[in-house]
A and B are shown apart, each in its own frame.
Chain A
Amino acid sequence: MELLLPFLAALLFATGVYLLLARDILRVIIGLNMISYGVNLSILLVGGTNPEGAPPILNAVARNYVDPLPQALILTAIVIGFGTTALILVLGVQAYQATGSDQLQDILNTADPIDTLEATADPERPSLSPEMTTEREDHS
């Protein structure tokens, strides 16, 4: 079982990265979730699995306790992941409502509103065209 779990974590990471590269915003969100499951599982594993260990509550009988720290880390990571998933879902819905598309390329290709004063502002650059003002896209 312990031998299987690292492979499961790797599988979750791989699936997550694959989905992250998709063009569909929902797939990206699911991909992020997959990655966070992979992370949680791998934290559990690097802490050392200890199937015989007792729950980490001090008692007279137990000689061998499970390490509670990885579980605390995972709990924190789950809570944070929950919050960020909610946020990015809302973000996805808003982006869909604003652009009418759930494809990342459509969302990322939206142009900024052009400042109308800009074209007349500088006599040396009368031909400041809309294409030129959105060339920032190249860097993103």
Chain B
Amino acid sequence: MIDANILALPILLPLVTGALLLLMPTPNARTTVAAIGSAITLTVSCVIAATVFGGEVLSVQMSAWPAPYGIAVVADSLTGVMLVLSSITGLLTVLFLGSSLQHPPRRGASNQLNRAREQFGAQALLQFLFMGVHMSFLTGDLFNLFVAFEVMLIASYGLVLLGSEVRQLREGLKYVVINLVASAIFVTTAGLVYGLLGTLNMADIAVKVQAHLLDGSDTRVTLLAALLGLVFATKAALFPLGFWLPAAYPTPPAALSAFFAALLTKVGAYTLIRTFTLMFPQASGVRSSLLLIAGITILMASLGAVNQRRWRYMLAFANVASVGYLIMGVMTQNTLSLSAAIFYMMNSVMVMFSLFLIAAIGERLAGESYYYQGHINAYPLLAMGFFVSALALAGLPPTSGFVGKFGLIQGLYERGDRLATGVAIVAVIGSLLLLYGLMTIWRNFFWGESDAVHRERLPLGMTITTAVAGALVLALTLASGPAYEVAANTAEQLSEPSQYIERVLETRPGLRTASF
């Protein structure tokens, strides 16, 4: 058994690494230190995941304040899944960013700009971003979740704006203002929760809400659930709150876009899962409206994706659609679709990440637009990676995307009402649209003959990280069985939150060492 204090490490390690990075003199030193820090974080995350996948819930109270009063740091199976996903993509992002910023493309005027970005702390901000992301996965306290969101968002503001290109300023302005308003609503909601229930500890909120609702339903509880849903839906970029995202995420350097798309929107999805499985499982009206919104999101975002001419803009829309699928699974309200949603989360993170890295290489070879034919002959492995990832995103067999989407639709079928049927139809249409969009890239960039394409040597770091990301997509497809089992266990644990609640509330300072 491991000591539960290990839960602080995924938050502390990026903080320490980020602080160290500010002192490092050269780009190579920065990349090395950042990579070592991220590798240690990955190891720690795997250790935590190995423990919680066994069905255990780890919990520790910061500074040993007794349970509902202090800040609880908790890891259950879902936290384990998210931590592993974010540390893997985090490590790859660090390597890709280091490599791509140090070896900017020969074409274009971005050489100096990219070196300046590296020099002015892109790597350090990235570590602070990891800190915020890990903190929001680990925290068991609603207000601490707000703080984690702010840490994450402020680091992401920095990363979106670093470089001060006009489009970065323009999209950054929208991004910052929308997220500040969302944060204001979030912190108000936290205050209202405290006013109504007298607690901010998530497990305690769950208990108090249940006690509160014993004598009939209460509009105030529904309102709190709806407000939290609104805030997290903004972070997850659901329709109609998410149209800032497809314009904002492609503005920073490609490696950062990849991490933003793969992980940041999923943090919103993660908190929605927490809100509606742990804190407010009774708010089924809110969940049904979110199911409808998820359906609309899928449709709008896939239509948007079809219309794009630039790699990363297209993928950013596709990413919004994939978040829509995820939320759809969470809001269907049965264990089958929840486990499918968690599996789809793993798939979506890895696939989006790999596609964005491939897009980064594509942009490097031929500019931002993908209308530049015939790359399949010069770069067969890149084309293969794109093809597999594209199939996995669209959800065609035999990829892991198919397994996830099949489960999601099956869950909707099990729910069986008119809303579920409608959303299921939209989900299938959305998949076809995404497939069409991705095949447009395939046809226009990879397929065909062209003598204009000549092989260019890519920096080793970029090639290797992209290859690893592609291999992980393949690995998830091959290991669909075990991964789906983990997802199913996680969903089961989430739909029966009593273990989580008991473990958090029993963590008294004196008991902590005794119980582990």
Contacts and interface: CB of A to CB of B under 8 A. Distances in A.
Nearest to A32: B180
A1 interface: no
A118 B173 contact: no
A32 B176 CA distance: 11
Contacts of B191: 39, 42-43, 46-47, 70, 73
A122 interface: yes
Interface in B173-207: 173-174, 176-177, 180-181, 183-184, 187-188, 190-192, 194-196, 200
B430 interface: no
A77 B371 contact: no
A25 to B, nearest CB: 8
Interface string B356-393: 00000000001111011100000000000000000000
B339 to A, nearest CB: 33
A87 interface: yes
B308 interface: yes
B246 A139 contact: yes
A47 B177 contact: no
Nearest to A69: B194
A94 B169 contact: yes
B309 interface: yes
A73 B190 contact: yes
Interface in A112-136: 112, 115, 117-118, 121-122, 125, 128, 132-133, 135-136
A84 interface: yes
Contacts of B243: 139-140
A59 interface: no
Interface string B148-178: 0010001001000100101101111110110
Contacts of B166: 98-99, 110, 112
Contact of B369 (A36, A94, A118): A118
A96 to B, nearest CB: 9
Contact of A70 (B170, B172, B194, B444): B194
Contact of B154 (A20, A76, A84): A84
Nearest to A17: B181
A110 B167 contact: yes
B154 A43 contact: no
User: Chain A contact residues (Cβ within 8 angstroms of B): what range?
Assistant: 35 or more
Contact of B371 (A43, A122, A135, A136): A122
Interface string B302-328: 001001111001000000000000000
B143 interface: yes
Given A32-B181, A87-B157, A42 B188 contact: yes
A56 interface: no
B368 A115 contact: yes
A30 interface: no
A87 B172 CA distance: 11
A36 B191 CA distance: 13
Chief secondary structure at chain A's binding surface: helix
A95 B169 contact: yes
Contacts of B310: 133, 136
Nearest to B164: A94
Contacts of B194: 43, 46-47, 69-70, 73
Nearest to A104: B173
A69 B200 CA distance: 10
B188 A125 contact: no
A14 B12 CA distance: 39
Interface string A85-107: 00110011011001100001001
B247 interface: yes
A115 B172 contact: no
B147 interface: yes
A88 B190 CA distance: 24
A80 B368 CA distance: 36
Contacts of A77: 187
Contacts of A20: 177, 181
A36 B184 contact: yes
A95 B173 contact: yes
Nearest to B147: A76
Contact of A84 (B176, B246, B371): B176
Contacts of B154: 80, 83-84, 87
A5 interface: no
B367 A115 contact: yes
Interface in A26-69: 28, 32, 35-36, 39, 42-43, 45-48, 69
B244 interface: yes
A43 B147 contact: no
Contacts of B172: 91
Interface of B: 143, 147, 150, 154, 157, 161, 164, 166-167, 169-174, 176-177, 180-181, 183-184, 187-188, 190-192, 194-196, 200, 243-244, 246-247, 304, 307-310, 313, 366-369, 371-373, 444
22 contacts: A25-B173, A32-B177, A36-B184, A46-B191, A47-B194, A48-B195, A70-B191, A76-B143, A87-B176, A91-B173, A94-B164, A115-B367, A117-B369, A118-B371, A121-B366, A121-B372, A122-B371, A122-B373, A128-B309, A140-B171, A140-B244, A140-B247
Given A36-B184, A39-B188, A43-B191, 15 more contacts: A45-B195, A73-B194, A76-B147, A80-B154, A87-B157, A98-B164, A107-B170, A108-B173, A117-B372, A118-B369, A125-B371, A132-B309, A133-B310, A136-B310, A139-B243
Interface of A: 20, 25, 28, 32, 35-36, 39, 42-43, 45-48, 69-70, 73, 76-77, 80, 83-84, 87-88, 91-92, 94-95, 98-99, 104, 107-108, 110, 112, 115, 117-118, 121-122, 125, 128, 132-133, 135-136, 139-140
